[in-house]
Structure 1
């Protein structure tokens, strides 16, 4: 077999093959030939369905697919209609302001249906989510930090590495964490508002103390609970005192002879659940307590050794309760597991920490009861927030309930002007 030589250009490519240098130059086509050879695209099929956001933000504009030649101008010479949503979306400054000012539900819906909005938000997801929480729930976002809730975190949408490891994407907070923070802020503020509307006002610092207590309620290990409360940078002395003020006000509300449920032991049981949602449902009337559901809650909350079955024999009857045997006393066990060890309740840990720090909170109990009823400077009653049936917002009257001296003064003026019907006194003459 002959050895191929450099002068044989076809020996290295095989029979009937040409090298790249052997390609002949294409003839220059005239304008008429190019017009005849050009393919006119009559329609274009889109794989994805039409964006449903166009119903609200305007139709999408697709580029013209008809080829143009130097001699044939474009058939679509008209400019596309201006879309304010797309303009804000593609602006380098307005996009961030649009996201931060959008309500949470609309933000999640738009993130799910708009591809361009989805991509742009993913590119700045970490900054936008943190900034969104700082804008709408600064206190709750600080207390309910995303590092405490790994279940609501996702991998970075842009696959940014974790600690320099390129093969592992870092964890970032998701919209579920934003929803968690906003929901818990709403529940805590609603609880404090309902108490204040019934005359049991609390200081503004109770909001932070109640949010921190919710963190303890979600912890299933006693060591973690104790270490969390013992940290003075997290739970300050003022937080412990303010939380016990809230506890006194809650007991006053639940033991009210008209609006309450008749016992002070109901408050500690509601504060021993996994969250404050149950307490909010009871105060708002969404959960009507009766003997059956209250008995079920007692069996799930407390261990059998703490219950007095002699005084309440129906608690020990399986027929009268809807609680399975493996769920009895589950909230008082480590890890909320049937085989776990005994775990102190969150409320007991707060009280024990107050005793350990020697705060002597018992000397403030009378002040707790009287707080928010009268102004110590002028002695006048503090007005109670009210909300009428047709109003959606709570309003604060300018003046509180009249004092006893003011009532007697007004009654005396009426008696002087219109007379009195007290036997033995004549009516005033006009």
Structure 2
């Protein structure tokens, strides 16, 4: 037998699982044992062991396991499969919003009638609705705008309110023909470091300059402003396009309601202006108030498409009615012509609306604060002062007056809302100057403006005592709500009364069959 055959036979014997005939354990596997004392012959294939050699524990365990009797195999054993309990059948509920998400055109019409806050809540809690809104964000915002504030995107262009816009969730690029410039871009940032403590020379020429305050701004030339804004526009062209956000939607809806209420409160005080034309003119004037610099204000009032001749006439009528309200000798409201000037120099028409409806913040003390913001001038020293008196004077200049911050005392009517050095032109001044420039001849219509709202087309006097519940938008809604609640309560009372009367009528009444029998008995005797 050759050496290869011997090696094959030896390998087969070592792989045999049966025990040896002499009662010992043969080699059961071809795995190597641990080599002890550098003995290369100590493997599982060695049958001759030296005297005193210790067995490997792994080999002993493997031989014992192979010699153990095997368990009988049961062929026909049934397998038990445990089934998971099925959940109880649930009633399928229909979700209107989930059903409308797949129909964007219908969803657009339905959600346009939701109030802005309700639309925002729905956008926050519904993932499918959130995804659909992000895919067509501008369309949904404009649809809601046309319902709650018609033509608001024409009176308050959303690209002029960059701080109220968001980047397009669909990551669309900005249009190259539209400059995304806001009114705040024309306002430079306040200076960070300005020294308010100048060297004292003992003379009376030292006066407090509001431009030296920490909140003053650095004057820019027209070229510097143009370069800064152009650089900002180029940067915005590289990012996603701005789209109107929910903040812009809330702003235009709020302004729509305020302008309508201003017209209504003027009518409640006996001074009427055209309702629809007056609301549109007030919205355009509010957009003019948003401009914090004189240059863009003049350019905007020169726009004959935005400020038409009719708009200038309605605004002049509004200014005259406002003067008649605060200068009425019969019903004196505690104001004068300066009230119109201060109210129109504010940043928005909210202050005028609060004064017309007598809301909180319109007391005599608040009127005094309004005057301090616009007209008050701090007294200047008239003679040389000592160093201690000068320091005391500077400390007084930094103190607020009746709650008005020191840097805003007498400076609210300046450019950039008190930070500039030039007085802002008010809307009443701009309207008169523009009417003269266009030769509109508004000065010939002042007498007609004074008598407007008191005589009809046939020169008959109109009633001047108008209840606010009939003309003010918020009060009209409250009145209708109270009437609806009263009708519902009356209907519930009537239904309850009828239910109470039904058993009483049933006890004394006879059935139809009894009546027919009685009639037949009478006829046939």
TM-score (norm 2): 0.55
Determine the C-alpha separation between the residues in 2 that align with 1:34 and 1:276: 81
1:267 to 340, 346, 353: 340
Relative to structure 1, the CA distance from residue 34 to residue 217 in structure 2 (aligned partners, 3 Å threshold; closer, same or farther) is farther
How far did residue 201 of structure 1 move?
0.9
1:157 is matched with 169
1:279 is matched with 352
Report if the CA contact (8 A) 1:146-1:173 is conserved.
yes
How far did residue 199 of structure 1 move?
1.7
Unpaired segments ≥5 residues, structure 1: 1-31, 41-65, 67-73, 306-315, 396-430
Report if the CA contact (8 A) 1:126-1:173 is conserved.
yes
Report the number of matched residues: 319
2:476 is matched with 393
Greater shift, 157-166 or 183-192, is seen at 157-166
Determine the C-alpha separation between the residues in 2 that align with 1:265 and 1:101: 42
Matched, 1:146 2:219: no
What whole-Å deviation, never above 9, does each CA across 1:327-376 have from its counterpart, x for those lacking one? 12333322235353343333322222222223332221111111111212
1:227 to 299, 317, 321: 299
User: Residue 235 of structure 1: SS of its match in structure 2?
Assistant: coil
2:273 is matched with 202
Relative to structure 1, the CA distance from residue 94 to residue 356 in structure 2 (aligned partners, 3 Å threshold; closer, same or farther) is closer
Bigger share in helix: 2
Q: Bigger relative contact order, structure 1 or 2, given CA contacts below 8 A and separation 6+?
A: 2
Determine the C-alpha separation between the residues in 2 that align with 1:166 and 1:368: 48
2:424 to 314, 339, 343: 343
Report if the CA contact (8 A) 1:144-1:215 is conserved.
yes
Matched, 1:189 2:260: yes
RMSD of the TM alignment (CA)?
Answer: 3.3
1:130 is matched with 142
Report if the CA contact (8 A) 2:323-2:340 is conserved.
yes
Determine the C-alpha separation between the residues in 1 that align with 2:439 and 2:457: 28
What whole-Å deviation, never above 9, does each CA across 1:52-105 have from its counterpart, x for those lacking one? xxxxxxxxxxxxxx9xxxxxxx75665622233432344444322221121222
Matched, 1:179 2:250: yes
Determine the C-alpha separation between the residues in 1 that align with 2:266 and 2:294: 30
How far did residue 115 of structure 1 move?
1.8
Higher gyration radius (CA): 2
Matched, 1:218 2:290: yes
Determine the C-alpha separation between the residues in 2 that align with 1:293 and 1:299: 10
Determine the C-alpha separation between the residues in 2 that align with 1:259 and 1:116: 58
1:329 to 396, 403, 410: 410
User: Residue 154 of structure 1: SS of its match in structure 2?
Assistant: strand
Determine the C-alpha separation between the residues in 2 that align with 1:115 and 1:145: 29
User: Residue 212 of structure 1: SS of its match in structure 2?
Assistant: helix
User: Residue 243 of structure 2: SS of its match in structure 1?
Assistant: strand
2:495 is matched with none
How far did residue 182 of structure 1 move?
0.2
Determine the C-alpha separation between the residues in 2 that align with 1:338 and 1:255: 32
Relative to structure 1, the CA distance from residue 331 to residue 356 in structure 2 (aligned partners, 3 Å threshold; closer, same or farther) is farther
Determine the C-alpha separation between the residues in 1 that align with 2:88 and 2:238: 48
TM-score (norm 1): 0.66
Determine the C-alpha separation between the residues in 2 that align with 1:250 and 1:109: 39
1:343-382 map, 5 Å: 343-377=424-458, 379-381=460-462
User: Residue 275 of structure 1: SS of its match in structure 2?
Assistant: coil
